[in-house]
Amino acid sequence: MNSTHVLDLFKLTDKVALVSGGAKGLGTVINEGLLEAGVNTLIFCGRGRHGSVEDEQERLSELFTNAKIIGVQCDVSDESQVQSMVQKIKNNVNQIDILINNAGVTWNAPTIDQTFATWHRVIDTNLTGLFLLTREVSNQLMIPKGGGTIINISSILAFQGVEVGSQIGYTASKAGVLGLTRQLAIEWSKWNIRVNAIAPSFIEGDTMAKVFTNEDSPVRETLIETIPTKRFNTPTDLKAAVCFLASDASSNINGQYLVLDGGLSVK
């Protein structure tokens, strides 16, 4: 009989985590959650526009003085940049226990108005970038070290469309993330690597969803009324989901997706 106290299973003490898209938006929420759960070394990457990587590193360093915070400028859709970043991590830290694939973009326009360039911009970041980073981290740092856990941030739009606006590239890419998650979970379990996904609906404060969630949004209350719990997700909801799937509390959960939507998808 395992004597480990159940609360200890949720701790991420002394773990090393890498968060893509961690310089702004929901990535900063994920950064905080991992550090609050005990992660000792947090590495996050972003494209670095407007000094966001430096600003987030400074912010986290002030909040979590006992942790090592490393911000890296990297566009995950660029294979050479991903390979360079992972090689530097290997040379300097040589450990990644937790990978959170959070980097994502969207382009809101009717499908008939989408261009080849806008389609590719979304797919290259949301799906190809996830594949590139996952492949490099697993090959270079997880498999040689005996395993790890990977969490892919998908979306409720992976399995249902929207009536307001059109995000065809985003929807397709997030559905692809779920397929990739299931396939890798099967392939990589032999290396003790668990791969799961989180599929959230709207999250309060998310800049990508502000047109729906802002207090002055004309559709906010209408959307909330469709959710059984009558509220959007909070940042804490996302933190809790990430830390659960990253921890030993979910050690036998693999190839699954955790839906954060207040029951919307079961109606």
Cα 63 off chain centre by: 21
Cβ-contact 237, 203 below 8 angstroms: yes
Q: What pTM was estimated for this model as a whole?
A: 0.94
Least trusted range by pLDDT, from 22-26, 175-179, 235-239: 22-26
Tell me how far apart the terminal alpha carbons of the chain are, to the nearest angstrom: 40
User: pLDDT band at 146, cuts 50/70/90?
Assistant: very high
pLDDT at 211 over 70: no
For residue 215, what is the DSSP state? T
Tokens standing for 65?
Answer: 């003085």
User: Which of these is catalytic: 170, 188, 212, 232?
Assistant: 170
Q: For residue range 21-71, what is the model confidence (pLDDT) as tens digits?
A: 999 999 999 999 999 999 999 999 999 776 689 999 999 999 999 999 999
- Cα separation, 140 vs 71, in Å, equals 19
* Mean pLDDT of all residues belonging to the chain: 92
170 is catalytic: yes
Domains of the chain: 6-206+235-260 (3.40.50.720)
Q: How confident is the model at residue 150 (pLDDT cuts 50, 70, 90)?
A: very high
| Helix ranges (DSSP H) in 71-161 | 79-92, 116-123, 129-137
